[in-house]
């Protein structure tokens, strides 16, 4: 039995490349990247992800300047490929105000080309290998806070990072109890293994972090 767990922590990196002008306004360009890390665990289990897509219809950054809160918002139908770091369509440049950003709000929405909001496929191995496909039509807002705040100074480059721990998304999911289709794939959605789909959707709040490194 394997004694280490391969922990895939995937990061959607909200990378802002800013330009400094004479008036010192800060201009930003939004792009997507991923990070993968490993850590040891006492559990003998491994996840391997072959697909991880998330649809987002709104991205809202909140800044505090004195006593006023300001929102900077992108709206559209954005498809994020978490594994490759690609987004479709690309998000255009935007001007942001220097200050301290404390909160990121996203709306996970069914804007993927399939009409879903989340599509994740892969294998889970705990001595027995299970192939799974999870899909969801979830439409939900999520607030991810950074209590310390991330400083964005005029003319500087700031990296806003939304990290999603894909393995932790499946915490509490017992694949041994799942119904398996004739092609040996465990499909998890609102009509197949719906109890497991609910567990995964409820985990979303706990697997996202907002930081700058």
- pTM (predicted TM-score): 0.81
Q: What is the pLDDT of residue 21?
A: 42
How far apart are the C-alpha atoms of 33 and 1, rounded to whole Å? 33
Domains of the chain, by residue range, sit at 10-211
Chain centroid, CA 72 distance in Å: 19
Segment-wise mean pLDDT, segments of 10 residues, the chain, 213 residues = 43 47 52 45 76 92 62 84 85 74 90 97 94 97 89 77 86 95 97 98 90 73
- CB 166: neighbour CB atoms within 10 A? 19
Residue 20: strand pairing partners: 26
What the block records as the tokens of 81 is 């490929």
SS (H, E, C) 48-106: EEEEEEEEEEEEEEEEEECCEEEEEEEEEEEEEECCCCCEECCCCCEEECCEEEEEEEE
Residue 123: strand pairing partners: 48, 131
73, with CB counted inside 10 A (0-12, 13-18, 19+), is exposed
Query: Residue 195: phi, psi to the nearest 5?
Result: -65, -35
What the block records as the tokens of 111 is 């804007």
Query: For 127, left (φ over 0), alpha (ψ -120 to 50), or beta?
Result: left
Q: What is the pLDDT of residue 59?
A: 85
């Amino acid at each position: 039995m394997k004694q280490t767990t391969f922990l895939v922590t995937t990061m959607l990196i909200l990378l802002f490349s800013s330009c400094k002008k004479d008036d010192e306004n800060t201009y930003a360009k939004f792009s997507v990247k991923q990070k993968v890390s490993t850590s040891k665990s006492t559990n003998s289990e491994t996840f391997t992800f072959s697909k991880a897509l998330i649809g987002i219809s709104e991205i809202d950054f909140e800044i505090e300047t004195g006593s006023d809160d300001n929102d900077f918002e992108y709206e559209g139908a954005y498809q994020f490929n978490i594994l490759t770091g690609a987004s479709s369509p690309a998000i255009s440049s935007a001007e942001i105000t220097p200050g301290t950003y404390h909160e990121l709000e996203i709306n996970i929405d069914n804007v993927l080309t399939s009409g879903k909001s989340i599509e994740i496929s892969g294998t889970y191995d705990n001595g027995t290998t299970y192939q799974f496909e999870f899909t969801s039509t979830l439409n939900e807002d999520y607030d991810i806070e950074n209590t310390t705040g991330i400083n964005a100074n005029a003319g500087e480059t700031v990296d806003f990072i939304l990290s999603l721990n894909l393995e932790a998304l499946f915490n509490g999911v017992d694949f041994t109890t799942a119904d398996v289709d004739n092609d040996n794939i465990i499909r998890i959605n609102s009509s197949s293994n719906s109890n497991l789909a609910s567990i995964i959707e409820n985990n979303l709040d706990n697997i996202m972090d907002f930081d700058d490194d």
